[in-house]
Amino acid sequence: MRDDLAELTGYHSAQVAVDVRLNTNESPYPPPAAWCEELAAAVADVEWQRYPDRRAIGLRTAIADWHGVAPEQIFAANGSNEVLQTLLLTYGGPGRRVLTFEPTYQLHRHLARLTGAEVVEAERGSDFAIDPDAAATVAADVRPHVTMLCSPNNPTGGIDSPAVARQLLSSSSGLLVVDEAYAQFADRSALELFEDDQALCVVRTFSKTWSMAAARLGYLIGPSWLVERLEQVVLPYHLDAVTQLAGTLALRHVDEMNQRVERIVAERERLVAGLAELDVDVHPSGANFVLFRPRRMPGREVWDALVERGVLVRDCSAWPRLDDCLRVTVGTAAEDDRFLAALADSLAPCRAGLQEVPR
Ligand code: PMP
């Protein structure tokens, strides 16, 4: 193995067999039945002996029409993770600097390091927000080749002010990547800043809003010159025929997807209200998950107690800057009720004074 990779640990989320899985920010709802039927019919017509359309023109045209941009401004890949990887392979690499604002999606720095780039970690404020002026100062100082933003930010849930992207664009000559895996659950997007002559791209996924995590499909909206560069780097035929069909057909069901988003956002507010009644601090969220911190018990103990009660959430308690934090994905109302009851139960020993764990 390369020496510089030896100490990396990879990025994994526990896959534990429990009743209620709220740890990977998937949609709690399956895709529309009509989409499943249309996909099954379309798969029967695939020319299996042939490679798929290398440039995924049908899919890119459908995504471009939906966003009101040109197909040449769309790059699609196997999950937004592959989009991020291709971006960093193209613009990161040895001798280059990638700027992140921590804590944020761990895969940004992980992928950057895999390419051999130097990662410069700037800090978010105490409420996990990025101050636009401070960001501009850091960028002017670091002169990154790539700057990664994530809005809403995983795992903290907050939405960046548009001023952050604006300031970064004006202060840094590198590429600005805004990871918007959760943007449809939020009321703001960096897409409003998108222009073909600007070094900005916005990354989206079908995994969350579109209930299609199993299909592995993500994409970016970016300048056509950037998309051309990415196509030079990505593997030939990387996006298989079924994934291309799955995405193209999904875009015929936009209304149903939007209804799912509305339900998840309403359920998020109910979940946040439920959490606020317990002995935890809750961070505001514009995504389909909520970060919280038990006030008087170590996060890891609460995580264990939840698993014992059949509920799996994301354990962020040992992550840098996130001491004792746990992240719960918004589930169905029934799943969230199970989670809230399990959490109340898990925190009960502390309330009863049986377990005093000063932090
Ligand atoms: N970006 C962020 C911020 C995420 O949280 C995730 C999912 N964990 C991804 C990208 C990757 O999503 P996918 O590869 O499923 O599109």
38 Cα: distance to centroid of ligand 1 (angstroms): 26
Tracing tokens 């014992």 back to the chain, one arrives at 308
Mutate to test the pocket of ligand 1, among 107, 185, 212, 288 (most ligand atoms within 8 A of CB): 107
Are 73 and 228 in contact, with CB atoms under 8 Å apart? no
Which band of pLDDT confidence, cut at 50, 70 and 90, is reported for residue 350? low
Angle at 79 between CA 76 and CA 84, to 5 degrees: 75
77 Cα: distance to centroid of ligand 1 (angstroms): 12
What sign does the CA torsion over 217, 231, 54, 114 have?
A: negative
Which structure tokens are listed for 96? 């280059």
What sign does the CA torsion over 349, 352, 356, 358 have?
A: positive
Give, using CA atoms, the residue closest to atom 12 of ligand 1: 80
pLDDT digit string, tens, across residues 240-266: 999 999 999 999 999 999 999 999 999
Bridge partner residues of 150 (DSSP): 179
Tracing tokens 């664009």 back to the chain, one arrives at 169
Nearest to 212 by CA among 246, 236, 174: 246
Which band of pLDDT confidence, cut at 50, 70 and 90, is reported for residue 339? very high
CA gap 51, 232 in Å, rounded: 18
Mutate to test the pocket of ligand 1, among 23, 111, 154, 210 (most ligand atoms within 8 A of CB): 154
Give backbone dihedrals phi and psi of 263, rounded to 5 degrees, phi first: -65, -40
Which structure tokens are listed for 205? 């996924």
Query: Does any ligand 1 atom lie closer than 6 A to the CB of residue 329?
Result: no
Angle at 131 between CA 126 and CA 132, to 5 degrees: 165
CA gap 241, 43 in Å, rounded: 8
Are 220 and 271 in contact, with CB atoms under 8 Å apart? no
Is pLDDT above 90 for 126?
Answer: no
Q: Which atom of ligand 1 is least distant from the CA of 216?
A: 15
Q: Which atom of ligand 1 is least distant from the CA of 155?
A: 5
Nearest to 117 by CA among 148, 140, 96, 86: 96
Which pLDDT does position 115 carry in this prediction? Answer: 97
The total number of residues written for the chain in this structure:
359
pLDDT digit string, tens, across residues 11-21: 777 778 899 99
Query: Does any ligand 1 atom lie closer than 6 A to the CB of residue 23?
Result: no
Which structure tokens are listed for 226? 């950037």
81 Cα: distance to centroid of ligand 1 (angstroms): 6
Which DSSP category does 248 fall into?
A: H
Q: Which residue has the higher pLDDT, 319 or 13?
A: 319
Which pLDDT does position 355 carry in this prediction? Answer: 53
Q: Which atom of ligand 1 is least distant from the CA of 80?
A: 16
Query: Which of these ranges, 26-30, 83-87, 125-129, 213-217, has the smallest mean pLDDT?
Result: 125-129
339 Cα: distance to centroid of ligand 1 (angstroms): 23
350 Cα: distance to centroid of ligand 1 (angstroms): 35
